[in-house]
Amino acid sequence: MSVAVLIDHRAGEVTRPSLEALTLARGLGTPIAVWLGATPSADAVAVLGEYGASEVRVADIGDDARHVAKAAAAIAAATEDAPVLIVISTFVTKEIATRLALLTGAGVVVDAAGAELVDGHVETVQTVFAATWNVRTRIESERAIVGVRPNTTIASPAAESVVPAVVTVEVDLPEARESIVSVAPIVQNGGVPLSEAPVVVSGGRGTGGDYTLVAEFAELLGGAVGASRDATDEGWISHEHMVGQTGTTVTPALYVAAGISGAVHHRGGMQASGTIVCINMDPEAPIFEISDFGVVGSLFDVIPQAIERIKEHRGA
């Protein structure tokens, strides 16, 4: 069975969540990479082949790819023969997935943490309601669209890499009622969006507004800097760093909460992380209830020690 994967790419390079999605797709069938944009470089095609893509279908609709209805039409044209499509769950792809479902009659699940085939149907798992419930959904229709969250599958190359055929897809673009005048990316966290970062180190009110240690720790761990809403509301750090119900939902392999109490609104955006570590002066803080590892102490004492030990360990 062909399993199409909408490839996310930046500056022509395949992003890590796309490799995760290809890895997931291999468990369901034969992956086909769908590439919106100019023909990918030979290097990008080789990476896609390494992760099992048998074909790369290129729909170059230029700036129209920013328009969700047009992007949906292009993806529909590229995936006509694929019963399953996997996209990486983002605000934009979730809208595209919904439009595609309407266009193609597919069943759709977004924000999934995984998918498998059961009795010939795609079944997904999602963690919902502030990570307090796991939901398994079976897609009953013949076509299935699954939006997967970054960091929920470990990307691994295929046992045997293939040389994918690169195929150009012709698209009839629909008329649009609106047009996008300009798009300007907000570069943050060294270019890795918070929602995709494998490690997030967040600081809250306990930082007192000093993010130096939080940022240094995040950099050492190769992660992104997050924050609680109180910290962003104080203007200590910009709003795009906010994790939680109002902020970004993150599912990194490692989440460090420093000086964050663990209010339900914050937990809702990080509780599904792989390993949760907290540093808090108050042993009664609710964040300890959901942490795998907690340190009672001031982040200003604990983080420098952690940094020192990690550097020592790496040097050893």
Ligand X SMILES: Cc1cc2nc3c(=O)[nH]c(=O)nc-3n(C[C@H](O)[C@H](O)[C@H](O)COP(=O)(O)OP(=O)(O)OC[C@H]3O[C@@H](n4cnc5c(N)ncnc54)[C@H](O)[C@@H]3O)c2cc1C
The site that binds ligand X (CB under 6 A) totals a number of residues, namely 28
Q: How far is the CB of 279 from ligand X (least distance, A)?
A: 5
Q: How far is the CB of 252 from ligand X (least distance, A)?
A: 16
Residues linked to residue 276 through DSSP beta bridges, in sequence order:
255
Q: Which is nearer to ligand X, 100 or 279 (CB)?
A: 279
- How are strands ordered across the β-sheet holding 224-227? 224-227, 199-203, 254-258, 275-280, 293-296
Determine contact, residues 147/110, Cβ cutoff 8 Å. Answer: yes
User: What is the C-alpha separation between 219 and 310, in angstroms, rounded?
Assistant: 12
User: What is the C-alpha separation between 101 and 84, in angstroms, rounded?
Assistant: 11
The binder of ligand X chosen from 67, 99, 229, 241 (CB under 6 A): 229
Which residues are within 8 A (CB) of 62 and not within 5 positions of it... i.e. 6 or more apart? none
Establish if 67 lies at the interface with ligand X (CB under 6 A). no
User: Which range of residues in 11-19, 186-194, 242-250, 307-315 is near ligand X by CB under 6 A?
Assistant: 242-250
Q: Which is nearer to ligand X, 84 or 279 (CB)?
A: 279
Establish if 265 lies at the interface with ligand X (CB under 6 A). yes
The binder of ligand X chosen from 17, 49, 193, 259 (CB under 6 A): 259
Establish if 234 lies at the interface with ligand X (CB under 6 A). no
Nearest to 98 by CA among 63, 146, 33, 136: 146
Q: How far is the CB of 229 from ligand X (least distance, A)?
A: 3
The binder of ligand X chosen from 71, 101, 260, 306 (CB under 6 A): 260
Residue type at position 4: A
Q: How far is the CB of 140 from ligand X (least distance, A)?
A: 34
The binder of ligand X chosen from 230, 253, 274, 307 (CB under 6 A): 230
Q: How far is the CB of 214 from ligand X (least distance, A)?
A: 11
Determine contact, residues 254/274, Cβ cutoff 8 Å. Answer: yes
Establish if 278 lies at the interface with ligand X (CB under 6 A). no
Backbone angles phi, psi at 278, to 5 degrees: -130, 155
Establish if 296 lies at the interface with ligand X (CB under 6 A). no
Q: How far is the CB of 243 from ligand X (least distance, A)?
A: 6
Establish if 231 lies at the interface with ligand X (CB under 6 A). yes
Which residue is associated with the tokens 């395949």? 14
> Strand (E) positions, the chain?
2-6, 9-10, 13-14, 30-36, 55-59, 84-88, 107-112, 114-118, 121-128, 133-139, 144-148, 165-168, 199-203, 224-227, 254-258, 275-280, 293-296
Convert residues 189-208 into a mask of x (bound to ligand X by CB under 6 A) and - (unbound): ---------------xxx--
User: What is the C-alpha separation between 82 and 1, in angstroms, rounded?
Assistant: 7
Q: Please, what is the Cα angle at 208 between 205 and 212, to 5 degrees?
A: 110
Establish if 226 lies at the interface with ligand X (CB under 6 A). no
User: What is the C-alpha separation between 65 and 181, in angstroms, rounded?
Assistant: 13
Which residue is associated with the tokens 């996209």? 87
Establish if 25 lies at the interface with ligand X (CB under 6 A). no
The binder of ligand X chosen from 40, 107, 252, 269 (CB under 6 A): 269
Establish if 164 lies at the interface with ligand X (CB under 6 A). no
Binding site for ligand X (CB under 6 A): 204-206, 228-231, 242-247, 259-261, 263, 265-266, 269, 279-282, 285, 298-300
